[in-house]
Chain A
Amino acid sequence: MTRAIRIGHLYPDVMNLYGDRGNILALVQRARWRGIQVDVVPISLGDPFRAETVDLLFAGGDQDREQRRVAADLAGPKGDAIRAAIEAGLPALVVCGSYQLFGQRYLPAEGPELPGLGVFDVVTEHPGVNVVRCVGNIVVDWNGSLLVGFENHGGRTYLGPRAAPLGRVVAGYGNNGQDGTEGARYKNAFGTYLHGSLLPKNPRLTDELLRLALQQRGDDPTLAALDDSVEEAARRVAIARARAERHAQRNVGATARPR
């Protein structure tokens, strides 16, 4: 029997900064290369979320203007349904602006605090437009293997007592540039600041999401091996970039708050 996965793409027309399309492409292609059918279902502002129509959820980054609209859309039954689905094991990847909104709350540089979905026990504060943004190539240790990407965020995210980080920063800023953590993980939901795009350069994470999606459906989660030599070459260059930038970032960090 042909296996199939339905990817719910949250706010594709709103949260689409920084090459988020690459993440969807990576999921779709790596599934298709293994003969797994993929449907991408757009779920935008005003659209309801129905857990039974989706096996994997993705949401990307945005600007502050859009973040406010999204926070309003997530408040209420739609947000409740997403939270319940994740509680029941729905795999999800949320990047940058979406990661912030999947936390408890976000305090932007200007305007009132935005309530979050509360999937992750994290809080994000923007220290103001005059404080240096966390920008650059980043490498993260994720359960012993490396994730590589590019981060660009003003907000600093702090983990609460019930939060587990996605990984430890090897080079770059991560959640807040201070405690060495990056992203958050709750059940099968992954939150991260890494874009760049993230998934094409990190096929192990892409495949992990596909496996979780198949498992969630009750399908066989085995994935055939692929030739990842092109992926590996791009990873090597990006990792070398992040390591080369590390020294400069340490100097910036020295003027920030002490740890």
Chain B
Amino acid sequence: MVVAGLAGELACGSALVTGTNGKTTTARLLARALHASGLTPVHNTAGSNLMRGLAATLASVAGPAGHLPASRRTIGVFEVDEAVAPHAARAVRPRIVVFTNLFRDQLDRYAELDTVAALWRGMIEELHGATIVLNADDPLIGALPAPPAGRRLLYGIADPAAAGDPSGAADSIWCPRCGNRLEFRAVWFAHLGDYGCPECGYARPPLDFAAVGVRPCGFEGSDLRVRLDEREIAIRLPLPGIYNVSNALAALAGAVALGVPSEVAARALTDATAAFGRAERLTVAGREVAILLVKNPTGADQALRTILAEEATPHLLLALNDRIADGRDVSWIWDVDFERLAARHGPITVTGDRADELALRLKYAGVADGVEVQPDPERAVRRALARGEGRLYILPTYTALLTLHDILARQAGTARFWERREP
């Protein structure tokens, strides 16, 4: 098989990143840190995280004879879809696997959270001698066992000031050991936080990488202090939102697990740019445009929160598709807190295959004024750019992002994202 053969030629092995949210950003940050330490990451940059995406990434690096260039420094960094992770692990035999979090996402494909967690436990049993890097703030992830002869590295947030309002999109509030309701000392967002079970005593495990100081700086990013082994290092993270603090911790822990000095990794994170569609910014027709990919209620809630912290009356372009890569089931938009926009918003343009469903969601959220439905994305971009001033925020689902990015890149005259070389 292509993936197994070529991955075997990676001199420094591979890292896998999986989970519902934050895969692309985490993998991208990890690749940067590895690059900064002198390695040559081979990395599936475009969010193409199924087996064929891995195969295409490896094949694109291979020479005409079908082999990777001989180098002692190549290392694979692959983000993989939650359900694909076990297959990818069998083919790639990774040195580390990063598990970011588990939210309900595209339930029409993955059935339910417990099913995915069970799949992962089976996968970990086969990861002999590997390190797994776990987001301890997620109760289902913190309960994953170490691989045979391997170890667990845990990361999480330990700054009570970072606690947000408990949002309605909580997925996993039940103890993964005994099934009783968990109690949270602090909630960062959704079901991520510092938790404990009053029945069986399961609690968030001790952190190897702890964000002890988190100072959010709006859309510009956050300042962090991270404690590891008795030391603290500072990171000025240029990615907004508490969810990107988690992603940065994941990348830092992953890089250290692969032998990168923590200071080198921290510096690389400070220089980070947004992953494709994850808080990306560009200038189109003289207007600043910020793109935040949304795939599920939690991600969308976080995006809205970040935007509302930055803007008095945000100007939005929302795009909802229901193709296979988006999830055919659009019911998740009913779990997004669009009610946050009812009090204040600027012009809102909705587009995509299910633009009318989005307009309906906004109507029931009490957001009616200034909503314009433009199912055709080309027209929608034109209208959104013409309808207001200041920064335009675009919140698309995955395939809508691909389409919109193409349209915007044409107008802005920049290279399409997949033509850029990273890092």
Contact = CB atoms under 8 A, between A and B. Distances in A.
Given A201-B360, A234-B360, A63 B114 contact: yes
Contact of B360 (A18, A135, A200): A200
A231 B359 CA distance: 9
Contact of A231 (B328, B332, B333, B360): B360
Interface string A184-228: 000000000001110011000000000000000000000000000
B359 A233 contact: yes
A63 B360 contact: no
Nearest to B173: A13
B107 interface: yes
Nearest to B359: A230
B374 to A, nearest CB: 13
Contacts of A195: 331
Interface of B: 104, 107-108, 111-115, 168, 173-174, 179, 322, 328-335, 353-354, 356-357, 359-361, 363-366, 373
Contact of A236 (B113, B173, B356, B361): B356
Given A22-B331, A22-B334, A200-B334, A17 B360 contact: no
Contact of B114 (A64, A135, A152, A154): A64
Nearest to B368: A230
21 contacts: A22-B335, A22-B364, A63-B112, A63-B114, A65-B179, A66-B174, A135-B329, A136-B108, A150-B328, A150-B329, A152-B108, A200-B361, A200-B364, A201-B357, A230-B356, A230-B363, A234-B356, A234-B360, A237-B356, A237-B357, A241-B322
B270 to A, nearest CB: 39
Contacts of A25: 334, 364-365
A196 B174 contact: no
A21 B356 contact: no
A231 B115 CA distance: 34
B226 to A, nearest CB: 33
Contacts of B113: 63
Contacts of B329: 18, 135, 150, 152, 196
Given A22-B331, A230-B356, A69 B179 contact: yes
Interface in A17-68: 17-22, 25-26, 29, 63-66
B348 to A, nearest CB: 13
A230 B367 CA distance: 13
B364 A196 contact: no
A136 B361 CA distance: 20
A154 B363 CA distance: 32
B364 A26 contact: yes
Q: Which 10 A-B pairs have the closest CB atoms?
A: A22-B334, A19-B334, A19-B331, A233-B356, A234-B360, A234-B356, A63-B112, A197-B334, A196-B331, A18-B331
A129 B119 CA distance: 13
Contacts of B334: 19-22, 25, 197, 200
B351 to A, nearest CB: 13
A26 B322 CA distance: 22
A176 interface: no
Contacts of B359: 230, 233-234
A64 B114 CA distance: 9
A137 interface: yes
Interface in A72-111: none
